[in-house]
Structure 1
């Protein structure tokens, strides 16, 4: 029988502090995030991911997206570099190895998946990343890219201990090869099994969230309210976790803080905007108010 998960609450947050940067900190030492994603169907996803990474304190952000979207995205997030990637006829990223070589070398953390609408494109990008020799790179894998891991289990092994997966219940079912209802019935079991298999921290999102370590230990967060069940919310969470990783948090602490910030910020927005109907892009502005000074 699985051990009961540890509550992810203010006590856990106090015992596992986020990094604090002192005098002499530069934007490079505060962490460099590369976000890869977007498509013609979902052109704004990386805006949510990238802004969340900056709002949790990452110092530099690069956003790599299909060429037809890159200029507009760069104007939406003027604090970031915008990288135009080759795209196919459907507006999905394609044959981007050469364009991504330098950006991958210049980042501490990669977040891959938000806004990608084609499994082939996501799998291609994962293979590209897993084929690098970047031994200090930490990776957040989100959305469409999660299901592609089934066919890349061997390629992912060198990244054990450096991966965070952020599936919702449907994505977890696809990855685990089970029915979604099974995930709903036993979320901790499935999160822990996948965490152990990939050597990853797994953030299984839902009305309650389970964060599982490869060791079998788990955290439980009671949820930030129904208002967070909205399009783009997961993109924000992935960016927050990536930003914390880039600043030097270990995967478990980055996941815990990311989930807690996301949920508590949702609660704060709900008090002013109402419990339902606020937008995912309103949430990251609350992050700096909750982070340690």
Structure 2
């Protein structure tokens, strides 16, 4: 077990853009998710990706909320998607998402989606043709759906990052949640090996597992991070770092650290609990500058 601390970060720096870079060279993120019940989730994810340094952002979300989301995020291109009878993304979204992938470097799939989202059908279509340049973050409903898509995920050859909390990890690995909380590092390692992916198992302490690598352990950013929207921010931060060119393990580790330290800063200014998930992304640029 290796601590995720300033020494580890210094030994594993993020790629930095050239002074003459443009927005395409800084990386393009496509974030897909949200629902009619949670229409604002992608706003947090998208802002987090841009705050982490991505150059361009696309958002794909339920058609009834797409316009409002675009008005709240004028930096992003927005694509409306059909929904099912529960207001979640429809199974037919998969093909539409696949058609957008040649315009992005990183796909963040799942923030703001719920149990009624047919994420397995969506992923089966969207991710059927692996692209060597595409990195992927799977969050929320996409995590549980991946349990039955092992070969599909493995075909992306280590370019996938999962961001489960213990309940989602239990669904992913078809085990009791108590097994996850009792031995999180073992479960995270097993999932990393099973899916040939990087696993960010969230909790009071966060475990980061990648096949063939030391387990990383982050002690946590405090109880204030246990709030709605916090996970959406983490998925976006990791997505933004991937789009910039960081490897999945480096992006996951830096994303967890930035997310946690953003929580610490907000706790110092606002209080240990009570800050909002949407307040996390604005802390990221200063943290990145301070860590250089």
User: How would you bin the TM-score normalised by the shorter chain?
Assistant: over 0.9
Alignment partner, residue 2 of structure 2: 6
C-alpha change, 1:219 and 1:191, in structure 2 (3 Å) is same
Q: Note the 1:1-293 alignment, pairs <5 A.
A: 5-94=1-90, 95-215=92-212, 217-292=214-289
**Cα distance between partner residues in 2 of 1:74 and 1:122:** 23
Any stretches of 5+ residues in structure 2 without a counterpart? Answer: none
Any stretches of 5+ residues in structure 1 without a counterpart? Answer: none
Contact residue 46 and residue 115 of structure 1 kept, 8 A: yes
TM-score after normalising by structure 2: 0.96
**Cα distance between partner residues in 2 of 1:209 and 1:152:** 24
**Cα distance between partner residues in 2 of 1:216 and 1:175:** 21
Deviations 1:204-254 (A, max 9, x none): 000100000111521000000110010111010000000000000000000
Moved more, 115-124 or 29-38: 115-124
C-alpha change, 1:74 and 1:276, in structure 2 (3 Å) is same
1:120 deviation in Å?
Answer: 4.7
Deviations 1:60-90 (A, max 9, x none): 0000001001001111111111110122222
1:38 deviation in Å?
Answer: 0.5
**Cα distance between partner residues in 2 of 1:98 and 1:195:** 27
Deviations 1:162-212 (A, max 9, x none): 000000011111111111111111000000000011110100000100000
Alignment partner of 1:207: what SS?
A: coil
Contact residue 61 and residue 80 of structure 2 kept, 8 A: yes
Moved more, 232-241 or 175-184: 175-184
**Cα distance between partner residues in 2 of 1:156 and 1:20:** 29
1:119 deviation in Å?
Answer: 4.8
Moved more, 256-265 or 13-22: 13-22
**Cα distance between partner residues in 1 of 2:29 and 2:213:** 28
CA RMSD of aligned residues (A): 1.3
Alignment partner of 1:291: what SS?
A: helix
**Cα distance between partner residues in 2 of 1:253 and 1:16:** 7
Contact residue 173 and residue 183 of structure 1 kept, 8 A: yes
**Cα distance between partner residues in 1 of 2:258 and 2:65:** 29
1:129 deviation in Å?
Answer: 2.4
